[in-house]
A = this chain, B = another copy of it.
Amino acid sequence: MAAASAATPEPIVYGQYTVPHFSEMVNFSVGQPASTMLPLDKIRQAAAKKFAETDVTFLQYGVVSGYEVFRKSLAAFLAKHYKRDVDPERLFATNGVTGGLTLLCSLFTTAGDSVVVEAPSYFLALNIFKELGLKVKEVGIDEEGMDVDALEALCKAGEAPRVVYTVPTFHNPTGYTMSPARREKLVALAEEYGFVVFADEVYQLLGFADTPEPPPSLCTYDKSEKGCVVSLGSFSKILAPALRMGWYEAHPALLARVAESGQLDSSGGINPVISGIVQVALDDGLQEEHLKAVKAELGARAKKLSSELEKQLPEGCSFAPIGGGYFVWIKLPEGVEGAPLLAHAAHSHKVRFLPGTKFGGPQLSGRIRLSISFYPPEGIEVGVARLAEAIRTFVANGCKPVAGDEALKAAAGTR
């Protein structure tokens, strides 16, 4: 069939990164859903149903906050999982956490304002804050979540920020979840000192079976008169990243400030066509079915990763139990630093990860982050074996890079 072969077009490259097979490299830094978690069949089905409609105003400039049926369908879905009422008037369609966060910052902050973040924190959010000219101040985080006492001390010292950015549930990179008591205190501080909290809750719905459910999303705690918390949700990890679809949940007064912005007055709804497809996926149970499958698969991978780490990592390493989300945060043996270890591991052991310092200051040098999501169990097993061997040989070499490692240092920042 030479003719047919000649007519076959080049395959289209859609993805942001090309990730090699794990036999070549296990790249534990990849924070993307695996291909098996991308439900093309379901999106195809939802799109076909939505496009079978005949109202051409589906293609017009859309309702600014997202059209009502989408918000009602989303509210019903969230209410089921959050086990509380969700008001469609407190929802607002965004194009994912990243776009949503940037829009909020452009409306609620001015260059020079300060934003408090957890240290460590999601490094790409930090880049966004820096681009907008915001001053980033760090407070610590432990297994109960953000150190809200440190935040209170800042506020009392007259250094209350304009904004606090937090990943309260299954935090990136640590996997930690903020306790109910700290959530309450954070919201009380926001009300008292007049800052607003942007809660990145992309992992809120990704708690695993047999682990305690996370506390309610942060906006649940906001009982203030004018609102002080915006919870940012996303379909990227529960449906598909390429949709660029997410939502805010917040007090209507906060959402009104977004709706009145010049940007949205000009564009109408942020992502109307996709929100139509997602609405069908919500209404027809496709989202529900996919979320169940994703949680099961992530949970199984987390379990496998956890047991391999326990079995294989050398003495001196430790990590917290993985309750949900995408990440595990590993403490390296005393004296081992993540960045030079990465250069060694990538060069000599075909394994990669993100060093702790990618997420904040030098106090994080003894930590690394692994992602759970991308590799199947056999890849995880191979990857952990390589990581363990890399740590051992690195320690045996006096915690110094070995010959050839240095050449790879430049590439060490890659996700």
A-side residues, CB < 8 A to B, are: 11-17, 32-33, 35, 38-40, 43-44, 47-48, 51-64, 67-69, 95-96, 98-99, 102, 106-107, 110-112, 124-128, 130-133, 236, 240-244, 261-263, 265-274, 276
Contact = CB atoms under 8 A, between A and B. Distances in A.
A58 B272 contact: no
Given A14-B272, A272-B14, A266 B98 contact: yes
B32 A59 contact: no
B60 A15 contact: yes
A54 B57 CA distance: 29
A260 to B, nearest CB: 9
A47 to B, nearest CB: 5
A274 B95 CA distance: 12
B60 A241 contact: yes
A111 B112 CA distance: 9
B270 A16 contact: no
A365 to B, nearest CB: 22
Nearest to A69: B12
Nearest to A122: B266
A112 B112 CA distance: 11
Quick one: which of A47, A61, A110, A127 has the most chain B CB within 10 A?
A61
B244 A68 contact: no
A97 B59 CA distance: 17
Contacts of A130: 262
A124 B274 contact: no
Contacts of A267: 95-96, 98-99, 244
Nearest to A262: B127
Contacts of A13: 63, 67-68
Contacts of A58: 12, 14, 40, 242
B128 A263 contact: yes
Contacts of A271: 95, 244
